[in-house]
A and B are shown apart, each in its own frame.
Chain A
Amino acid sequence: MAKLIEAYVTGVGQSEVGVRLTRSPMGLTMDAIRQALDNAGLTFEQIDGVASYPGKSHGYLGFSPIGVDEVIEQCGIKARWHMGAGEIPAQLSAIAEAANAIKTGQARHVICFRTVYEAAAMARPEEFPPLRRDSVDGSSQWTAPFFAISAACWVAQYANRHMNRYGMTREQLAQVALNANRNGLANPNARAISKKPLTLDEYMESRLITTPFCLYDCDRFTDCSTVLILSAGDALDEVKSTPVRIAATAGAVHRHSWDQAEWMASYDTGPDLWAKTDYTTKDVDTVQFYDGFAFFPITWLEALGFCEVGEGHRFIEGGTRIARDGELPLNTGGGQIGAGRLHGFGFAYEAVLQLTKQAGERQIPGDPKVAVATSGGGPLAAALLLARD
């Protein structure tokens, strides 16, 4: 068998991030793709692969308005490999699959994109019809009939259990949102979401959504496209950027259910990631953890072994350890809570910016070389280990 080729992130791009933007979903997607191509020093002629998650979502266009086929057609890409799939471990698995395609020689340069249009879609329902709620099937039928309609209601029950079982407090949970706000304020792409400093008092007094989550524990619908370009290790002479190697990827689904599983899939994904690499938690300079809800980063800290199970809330207590100048900077661009619901890809984007020292005002100190980016919650989980060699 031929030797596997390494896969690297060689370009990143992000469109304007806004709430109820009027620029079209394809416009945002093209903005992000052009920026990523420019970042890498590549042209459409060199691209031979395209990947996205979850592919075009015809039943709910705001969730994923642009398909992989449309990008291939729009950009005149001569694709040898492409994929737009939702039935993969989680959002960042699209990037893991693109890396696998590169490793096995199926493509040399792959555009990976995630376009979201959930805020604009809510404002323009005639163009982007919302999900129907009167009749439900599939997994929704086991939660929606009890008005457990938002994922907030499902995840809140896991968070509440952590409070009951391990003594997590709202003050400890708050550190995720406070950290997200601090970092979002230093991120020019987060201006639509993080507008002013958030205090613990404001957090504690804010409107409850579903206990223990308040308004600031939930990410916010956003309109944006995020792009990462992956390139083969034997094609790096074609790019001008600092490449970041995809050192390992992992994803796990043991029970594909939001309510039957005792633990979220992240707890299976963590050990699987470390089993595939010589790196350990001690090598990691920054973590970018999915935070659709504030409890998720706590589970990822536990799942990836940065602390014991049931200790995540104590790990982040006071917020200094996870701050940009702390021992394990978390969600340095604000995450989804501080910078908008980019739906997974934002975590890989931020990890690459930090490792290549392109993060501007929010750049973490020192010489960061290794990062973990994750996505997903509940039965979905994917993790990427990224390294600058």
Chain B
Amino acid sequence: MSEVQAAPKRPRPRLDAINRPFWTGGAEGKLYITHCNDCGEWTHPPREFCRHCQSENVAPEAVPGTGAIDTLTVNHQAWMPGLEVPFVIARVRLDGVPGVVLTTNIVGSPFDAVDFEDRVRVTFEEQDGIWFPLFEKVEG
């Protein structure tokens, strides 16, 4: 007889000064992406220097949190014991943040109702002080 396996926790990013705004911004409902105050470009994953002009004058900036699905995969394999499948892994192209995509999960819709170019909006899932930016479909 097998025991019911509890759903696994999301692997937890190790926080540091550079990645903390991204992983904890959800506490204030904000999605932060590193922005360069000199050249205006975005750097993601976040870094200490702008990856376009190498300026140190960078800071996390709240972005709209909407976007479109660039590509996706419906994951059927339980990579960890108890992981509920299938679910959608997607790359989301963020509005107002040219050149940045986020790997994330699309939640709140059946796995077979998610498609390329679907419009999505961020929704945060909190676990032990980390606010994971997931996305859900929006109309239009």
Contacts and interface: CB of A to CB of B under 8 A. Distances in A.
Contacts of A150: 77, 79
A359 B117 CA distance: 47
A153 B89 contact: yes
Contacts of B101: 259-260
Given A161-B71, A257-B45, A260-B100, A145 B91 contact: no
B79 A147 contact: yes
Contact of A208 (B70, B76, B83, B99): B76
B11 interface: yes
Nearest to B132: A145
B12 A153 contact: no
B71 A148 contact: no
Contacts of A137: 13-14
A152 B77 CA distance: 10
Given A153-B89, A164-B71, A145 B77 contact: no
A143 B101 CA distance: 12
Contact of A149 (B79, B100, B102, B104): B79
Given A142-B45, A153-B89, A160 B12 contact: no
Contact of A147 (B71, B83, B100): B83
Contact of B10 (A145, A208, A211, A213): A145
Nearest to A218: B77
A153 to B, nearest CB: 5
Contacts of B102: 142, 259
Given A136-B13, A140-B11, A147 B116 contact: no
A222 B86 CA distance: 27
Contact of B89 (A134, A141, A157, A213): A157
Contacts of B80: 133, 147, 149
B77 A209 contact: yes
Contacts of A148: 75, 89, 103
Contacts of A160: 71-73
A290 interface: no
Nearest to A164: B116
B73 A156 contact: yes
A139 B91 CA distance: 15
A352 to B, nearest CB: 35
B19 interface: yes
A256 to B, nearest CB: 10
Interface of A: 133-137, 139-150, 152-154, 156-158, 160-161, 164, 207-213, 257, 259-260
Nearest 7 A/B pairs, CB to CB: A156-B73, A141-B13, A144-B11, A161-B71, A137-B14, A149-B79, A208-B76
15 contacts: A141-B45, A145-B10, A145-B13, A146-B134, A147-B10, A147-B89, A156-B73, A161-B116, A164-B116, A209-B77, A210-B76, A210-B77, A257-B45, A259-B103, A260-B99
Given A146-B104, A149-B80, A158-B71, 15 more contacts: A135-B14, A139-B45, A140-B11, A142-B45, A143-B103, A147-B105, A149-B79, A153-B89, A156-B73, A157-B71, A207-B76, A208-B76, A210-B89, A213-B73, A260-B45
